[in-house]
Amino acid sequence: MGFADFLGFAFIQRAYLAGSFIAVLCAMLGLFLVLRRFSLIGDGLSHVSFGGIALGLFLGLEPLWVALPISVAASSLILVLSRRARLYGDAAIAIVSSSGIALGVVLASLAGGFNVDLMSYLFGNILAVSPVETYLSVLLSAVVLAVIAFLYHDLFSVAFDEEYATVSGIRTGAVNILLATLTAVSVVLAVKVVGVMLVSALLVLPAVSALQVARGFRGALLLSSCIAVLSVLVGITVSFLADIPAGGTVVLVNLLVFFVLLAWKRIR
C-alpha cells in the first residue's frame, strides 16, 4: 500500500481534518492557559468530561453532547471557587477534577463496569471519528477560533497583566469566563483525538514548545499551532502504519518536538 492509497482512506482524511482543527484550537488556547499558569485546567476539565461521558453512556445519550454542558459549567465553577471561596486555582481545579472522576467511576459501576465505549473515550480514537463528528469538530473549532480572533487583544492583555487590563477598561471577569468556557469546549473536542487521559498534553505541549523559541506573542501563537498540527498529522500517520494507539502517538510526537526545541534553544 502506497502513501497515496493511505491518504485515500476516508477515515484517515476525517482524522486529519478533525485532528488538525482541534489541534490548532488547543494550541492557541493552551498558550493563554500556560502563560496564565492555568495549565492544569485542561486536565481538570478532561476529568469532568469523563464524568459527563459516563453519564451520557449511562443515559443512552450521545456522550460528548452530555459532556459539553457539564464541562462548560465546571469551568465556571472553577473560577467561582477561585474567586468567591478564595481557593488557590490549583485547589479549585483539584476539587472539580476529582468530582468529575468520582461521578464517572460511580456511573460506570452502576452501568455494569467499564465497557469498550468508555475505554475509547479514556484513550481517544481519532481514526474512528465519524463524518458527523468531523463536521461538528470543524464547526465548533471554527467558532472558537473566530471568537479568539475577535477578542485577540483583550485575551492578550488579560494574559499579560490582568491588573493593567482592568485599568484599561477591559472586563477581565468576562474574559476569564470566556477563556474557561472555550477551554471546556476544546477539551471535550480533544477527548476524541487523544482521550481524557491525554487532553492536557494537547493543550500544554505545543504551547511550551513554542515558548522555547518564539520572540513575540503572535509568533508564539503561530508556532504553537504549527507544532500542534504537525504532531497530529505525524502522530496519526505513524500510529496507523505502526498499528499503535493514535492518541498516545500524537502526544509522544508533541513531546519529541518539545525536547528538540528545548535542545535547540540551549545550543543556540
Partner 1 sequence: MNDVILSVDHLSFRYGASETLSDVSFRVRRGDFVALAGPNGAGKTTLMKLVLGLLDGYEGDIELFGTPRSAFRDHRKVGYLPQRVNTFNPLFPATSGEVVGLGLLSGKRLPKRLDGADRERIREALRSVDALDLEHSPIGSLSGGQQQRVFLARALVSDPELLVLDEPVTALDPEARARFYALLTRLRSEEGKTVVMITHDIPHAGEQGGTLLYLDKSVVFFGGFDEFCRSKSMEGKFGYFDQHVICHQHTT
Straight-line distance from the first to the last Cα atom of the chain, in angstroms, rounded to the nearest whole number: 41
Contact 223, 30 (CB under 8 A): no
What residue ranges in the chain does DSSP mark as E strands?
Answer: none
Establish if 165 lies at the interface with partner 1 (CB under 8 A): yes
Among 94, 211, 226, 255, binds partner 1 (CB under 8 A): 211
Coil/strand/helix, residue 1? coil
Total number of residues that touch partner 1 (CB under 8 A) = 30
C-beta of 126 vs 210, nearer to partner 1: 210
Q: Do 19 and 238 contact (CB within 8 A), yes or no?
A: no
Shortest Å, Cβ 96 to partner 1: 25
Cβ of residue 148: shortest distance to partner 1, in angstroms? 11
User: Is position 264 an interface residue for partner 1 (rule: CB under 8 A)?
Assistant: no
Using CB under 8 A, which of 149, 174, 244, 260 touches partner 1? 149
- Alpha-carbon distances of 268 from 25, 140, 216, 262, rounded to whole Å: 30, 39, 18, 10
- Residue 215 has, within 13 A of its CA and on its CB side, a CA count of 0
**Which residue's CB is nearer to partner 1, number 5 or number 163?**
163
Residue 262 CB-half CA count within 13 A: 11
Select the span of 44-52, 157-165, 174-182, 226-234 touching partner 1 (CB under 8 A). Answer: 157-165
User: Considering the rule CB under 8 A, would residue 9 count as an interface residue with partner 1?
Assistant: no
Q: Return the C-alpha cell found at 184.
A: 471546556
Rounded-to-10 torsion of CA 239, 124, 180, 216: 0
43 binds partner 1 (CB under 8 A): no
Distance CA 48, CA 197 (A): 11
Single out the residue of 163, 243, 266, 267 in contact with partner 1 (rule: CB under 8 A).
163
Taking CB under 8 A as the binding criterion, the range among 48-56, 150-158, 193-201, 226-234 that sits at the site for partner 1 is 150-158
- Binding region for partner 1 (CB under 8 A) out of 9-17, 113-121, 148-156, 259-267: 148-156
Counting contacts by CB under 8 A, is residue 35 touching partner 1?
Answer: yes
178 binds partner 1 per the rule CB under 8 A: no
C-alpha cell at position 136: 461538528
Give the binding site for partner 1 (CB under 8 A).
Answer: 35, 149-154, 156-157, 159-170, 210-211, 214-220
